[in-house]
A and B are shown apart, each in its own frame.
Chain A
C-alpha cells in the first residue's frame, strides 16, 4: 500500500507561520492534494500539485518535490480559525483515486 506520513499534531501561535510536511512513496506518483478539515465537517480543497515547485494561494502555499516524495503546506499569518486537521492525499499512476494520510491536527493558540 501507499504510505503517506504526516505529523499527528502541531501547535503554533496566532500570527506565526507553520509548515506541515507530508512524505509519500514515489512509485507511480500522479498528483498530490491538500485538504483542510474542521472537526466533524467536510474536507475542503486547498491545493493540488503535480509538478515540482511552490504554488501560492493567499496565506496558504503548497510545495512539491517529486524526486524526494515530499510536500509541505505553508500557512502564513495564522488565525485561530486555521485550527483544523490538514489532510495530504496522493494519487498514484493508474488510479486517480487519492489515498489520504491520517491528517495533521493543527492547534493555533493566542
Chain B
C-alpha cells in the first residue's frame, strides 16, 4: 500500500459524458501527478500540481482538466468523453517538486467509455 488513495476504482460511462476522478496523496506529500495508461500507449504523464498550483503539463487534452485543493487532494475532470479515453488513470504523489523525488502511485481508476 503506497498511501495514495484514488476513487472510484471503476467507472463506466457513455460517450459525451463528464466524470471526475479523485486522488488523495500520501500524508505530507505536496505534489500530485496524473497519468493515463492504455494498452497501446503505455504510461503517459498528464499533469502535475504542487501545493495547489499547476507545476508541469504533459500530454493532457483540452477536454481534461485538474486541480489541487487546499487539503492537497486532487481531482481530474474528463469531459466530452470518447471511446479512446477508456484507460487506467493513475495518480502519484511525492514530497516536493524536485528531481530527486520518487513518485508513489495510487491503485488507479479504470475508466470504461461505452
- Which residues in A have some Cβ–Cβ distance to B below 8 Å? 30-31, 33, 35, 40-45, 48, 50, 87, 89, 91, 95-103
Contact = CB atoms under 8 A, between A and B. Distances in A.
Most chain B CB inside 10 Å of its own CB: which residue of A45, A87, A91, A103:
A45
B103 A30 contact: no
Interface residues of B, number: 25
A43 B48 contact: no
A17 B99 CA distance: 31
26 contacts: A31-B100, A33-B102, A40-B88, A40-B110, A42-B4, A42-B90, A42-B105, A42-B108, A43-B105, A44-B2, A44-B105, A45-B103, A50-B100, A87-B43, A89-B43, A96-B56, A96-B97, A96-B99, A97-B33, A97-B58, A98-B103, A99-B45, A100-B42, A100-B44, A102-B42, A103-B43
Interface in B5-50: 33, 42-45, 48
B11 to A, nearest CB: 14
Instruction: Give 4 nearest A-B pairs by CB, closest first.
Output: A96-B99, A42-B105, A100-B43, A102-B42
Interface of B: 2, 4, 33, 42-45, 48, 56, 58, 88, 90, 97-108, 110
A45 B102 contact: yes
B42 A97 contact: no
Contact of A43 (B43, B45, B100, B101): B43
A99 B4 CA distance: 21
A97 B50 CA distance: 13
B101 to A, nearest CB: 7
A50 to B, nearest CB: 8
Nearest to B33: A97
A42 B103 CA distance: 11
